[in-house]
């Protein structure tokens, strides 16, 4: 994966006209996507007194900040919350604290830096002395400038010589700090106080023998050698370069690649973020694929609501990538980045082929087209599969808890074609439906979502059922209705046969149809009484075999009371047939979760089992 990130970096260095040297790669943009729109410059003026030249504090200047200052004020964040930044340019938290801990402290710590020459040390010492003497005045002036500023600010230093204002970039000594310290980070660990450098060794990325390779490449926050287990050969971190030796040029390619990931290849995924990392196996396809991703993401039509997507990100590029040849693979690195210095890997899905993406889209379209999900509102299909369907049953919420781990594991399995445990999915589905049901909420939409989810996973053969899925009858894509009581058993059998992975036995079939009959009664109660007291008989969808079978005589009795039993006698007879075949409920050997899922599925697909005969037009579903 690191090699793939380096490849992205090399592409960017070639195609980005703003990248002219290693120095440009190390610099960071303190404008930070408009989060820091204000720039304050503490200006020192060079004056001559009694034949001696010295620097004195002159004023605090205000500028409207922008990315054009990136190469002038030389910002690069430091290591540690209270440590100075790499140069005396810093983002403001609290004005006095930032001035003392970042700006003033920078000059205090660096006036004897070993890689500076004598004149450069003298220059820093002069500014340090003036800062020490004028601290109170400078803080006062900074506060005056910031009094009416409502957003983030950046502080830097400027100098006035011969009436010309100069910034940090005009003095080579400040550039030295960027170059030397950035490269030093690759070879020296301040935490461990050790060097890790190999000489005349092969770089793990470019595979070329290099004069120096480094072991402390820290830009990849998820790769470190601070813990012994990360180091090849045991506990000697100075040998960590053997773990993954990287030369300077390749380290900079990775640095650039990381910036591209942050700016162009970060996507949203139902409350989570991930990097999309392409790995091109065909060199000739590299430019086409990377350029295609960037253009597709930024194209004007990207927010088209009707475009086929499998995630909730309007910039999702999977629909584009699925058409690529298998000379590229993709990794999805899900991460959490609560702070700039903290990077946590949540999940890594590696080596996804375009052909797999196409298969996911094909299965999505197949499921979307089923008659049960072709419900429309304002001309748009209400229920369409995407990974939000999975997220519904594996949420991160206050009520149901944080299921990010399981959610990402299942996402990974769908991309990598790895077996998924059917009872595990059913457990989470019914848990979610129960939470809604006991609060008297409608669960029609979520139940259809759950059916769509298991059909999608099954069409991908992720449950690894022993029985092979049959080719689905065309009418399940066109329409499905029962036109007469004579048609009821035939059409029910057709339904069960086409979805036989979930209706293997007459136990499943009887439970499903009892759910259908229960919903018919609830509809009648709602219409006749404006309430549905029979819901309490369903025990919050925690029924066992005894509970479910005992519902049948109660439902028939209630239907008789409402004088509505006659239209449902064919359905009751069919239920009786399946129950007789199913045998004693004490021997059903079916998990309670699965029984209740099948039952509630019957409830919410009940309208398709309504008999539409001429003599039964008034029947409600």
Distance CA 333, CA 1 (A): 10
Name the region of 519 (left: φ>0; alpha: ψ -120 to 50; beta: rest): alpha
Res 614 pLDDT > 50: no
- Look up tokens 């890790």; give the residue: 196
Going by C-alpha positions, the residue among 602, 448, 444 that lies closest to residue 513 is: 602
Distance CA 592, CA 409 (A): 25
Lowest mean pLDDT among 190-204, 363-377, 432-446: 190-204
pTM over cut 0.85: no
User: pLDDT-derived band of residue 477, with 50, 70 and 90 as boundaries?
Assistant: confident
Look at 343 and 218; give whichever has higher pLDDT: 343
Contacts by 196-199 with C-beta closer than 8 Å and gap 24+? Answer: 196/225, 196/237, 196/238, 196/239, 196/240, 196/241, 197/241, 198/241, 198/242, 198/245
Lowest mean pLDDT among 11-20, 83-92, 546-555, 561-570: 11-20
Whether the CB-CB separation of 449 and 436 falls below 8 Å is answered with no
Instruction: Give the Cα-Cα-Cα angle 608, 611, 617 (nearest 5 degrees).
Output: 115
Query: Which residues neighbour 455 within 8 Å (Cβ) at sequence distance 6 or greater?
Result: 367, 370, 499
Whether the CB-CB separation of 287 and 323 falls below 8 Å is answered with no
DSSP letter at 86? S
CA quadruple 246, 249, 252, 256: dihedral sign: negative
Res 320 pLDDT > 90: no
pLDDT of residue 300: 52
User: pLDDT-derived band of residue 223, with 50, 70 and 90 as boundaries?
Assistant: very low
Query: Which residues neighbour 615 within 8 Å (Cβ) at sequence distance 6 or greater?
Result: none
CB crowding 382-403: b at 16 or more within 10 Å, else e: ebbbbbebbbbbbbeeeeeeeb
- Give whole-number Cα distances, 547 to 64, 283, 584, in Å: 72, 64, 13
Whether the CB-CB separation of 289 and 278 falls below 8 Å is answered with yes
Q: What number of other Cβ atoms are within 10 A of residue 322's Cβ?
A: 19
Res 126 pLDDT > 80: yes
Going by C-alpha positions, the residue among 423, 417, 504 that lies closest to residue 467 is: 504
DSSP letter at 497? H
pLDDT of residue 468: 59
489, with CB counted inside 10 A (0-12, 13-18, 19+), is middle
User: pLDDT-derived band of residue 181, with 50, 70 and 90 as boundaries?
Assistant: confident
Distance CA 363, CA 495 (A): 20
**Mean pLDDT, the chain, whole residue set:** 88
pLDDT of residue 292: 85
User: What's the rounded mean pLDDT across residues 87-102?
Assistant: 95
Lowest mean pLDDT among 170-174, 211-215, 541-545, 611-615: 611-615
> How far, rounded to the nearest angstrom, does the alpha carbon of residue 365 sit from its chain's CA centroid?
23
pLDDT of residue 217: 67
Please state the φ and ψ torsions of residue 546, each to the nearest 5 degrees: -60, -45
């Amino acid at each position: 994966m690191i090699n793939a990130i380096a490849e992205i970096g090399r592409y960017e260095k070639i195609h980005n006209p703003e990248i002219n040297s290693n120095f440009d790669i190390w610099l960071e943009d303190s404008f930070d996507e408009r989060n820091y729109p204000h720039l304050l410059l503490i200006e020192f003026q060079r004056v001559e007194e009694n034949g001696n030249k010295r620097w004195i504090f002159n004023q605090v200047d205000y500028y409207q900040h922008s990315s054009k200052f990136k190469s002038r004020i030389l910002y690069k964040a430091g290591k540690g919350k209270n440590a100075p930044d790499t140069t005396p340019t810093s983002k403001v938290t609290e004005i006095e604290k930032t001035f003392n801990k970042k700006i003033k402290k920078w000059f205090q710590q660096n006036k004897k830096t070993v890689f500076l020459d004598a004149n450069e040390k003298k220059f820093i010492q002069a500014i340090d002395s003036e800062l020490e003497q004028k601290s109170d005045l400078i803080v006062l002036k900074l506060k005056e400038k910031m009094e009416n500023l409502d957003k983030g600010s950046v502080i830097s230093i400027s100098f006035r010589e011969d009436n010309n204002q100069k910034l940090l970039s005009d003095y080579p000594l400040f550039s030295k700090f960027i170059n030397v310290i950035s490269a030093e980070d690759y070879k020296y660990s301040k935490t461990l106080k050790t060097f890790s450098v190999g000489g005349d060794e092969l770089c793990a990325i470019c595979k070329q023998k290099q004069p120096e390779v480094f072991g402390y490449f820290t830009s990849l926050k998820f790769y470190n050698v601070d813990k012994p287990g990360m180091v090849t050969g045991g506990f000697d971190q100075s040998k960590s370069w053997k773990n993954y030796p990287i030369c300077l040029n390749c380290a900079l390619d990775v640095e650039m690649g990381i910036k591209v990931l942050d700016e162009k290849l970060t996507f949203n995924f139902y409350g989570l973020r991930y990097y999309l990392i392409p790995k091109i196996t065909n060199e000739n396809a590299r430019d086409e694929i990377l350029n295609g991703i960037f253009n597709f993401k930024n194209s004007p039509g990207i927010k088209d609501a009707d475009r086929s997507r499998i995630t909730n990100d309007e910039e999702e590029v999977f629909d584009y990538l699925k058409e690529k040849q298998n000379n590229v693979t993709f990794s999805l690195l899900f991460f959490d980045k609560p702070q700039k210095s903290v990077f946590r890997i949540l999940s890594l899905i590696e080596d996804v082929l375009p052909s797999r993406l196409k298969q996911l889209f094909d299965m999505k379209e197949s499921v979307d087209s089923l008659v049960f999900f072709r419900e429309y509102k304002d001309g748009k299909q209400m229920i369409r599969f995407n990974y939000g369907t999975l997220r519904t049953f594996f949420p991160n919420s206050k009520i149901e808890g944080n299921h990010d781990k399981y959610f990402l594991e299942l996402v990974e399995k769908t991309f990598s074609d790895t077996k998924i445990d059917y009872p595990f999915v059913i457990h989470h589905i019914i848990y979610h439906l129960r939470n809604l049901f006991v609060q008297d909420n409608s669960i029609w939409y979520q139940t259809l979502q759950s059916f769509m989810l298991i059909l999608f996973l099954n069409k991908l053969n992720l449950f690894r059922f022993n029985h092979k899925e049959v080719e689905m009858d065309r009418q399940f894509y066109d329409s499905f209705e029962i036109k007469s009581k004579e048609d009821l058993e035939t059409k029910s059998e057709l339904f069960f046969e086409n979805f036989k992975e979930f209706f293997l036995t007459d136990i499943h079939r009887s439970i499903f149809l009892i759910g259908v009959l229960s919903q018919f009664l609830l509809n009648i109660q709602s219409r006749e009484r404006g309430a549905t007291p029979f819901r309490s008989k369903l025990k919050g969808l925690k029924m066992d075999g005894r509970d479910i079978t005992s519902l049948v005589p109660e439902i028939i009795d209630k239907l008789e009371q409402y004088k509505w039993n006659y239209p449902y006698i064919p359905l009751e007879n069919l239920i009786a047939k399946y129950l007789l075949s199913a045998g004693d409920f004490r021997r059903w050997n079916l998990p309670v979760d699965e029984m209740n899922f099948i039952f509630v599925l019957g409830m919410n697909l009940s309208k398709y089992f309504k008999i539409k005969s001429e003599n039964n037009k008034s029947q409600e579903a």
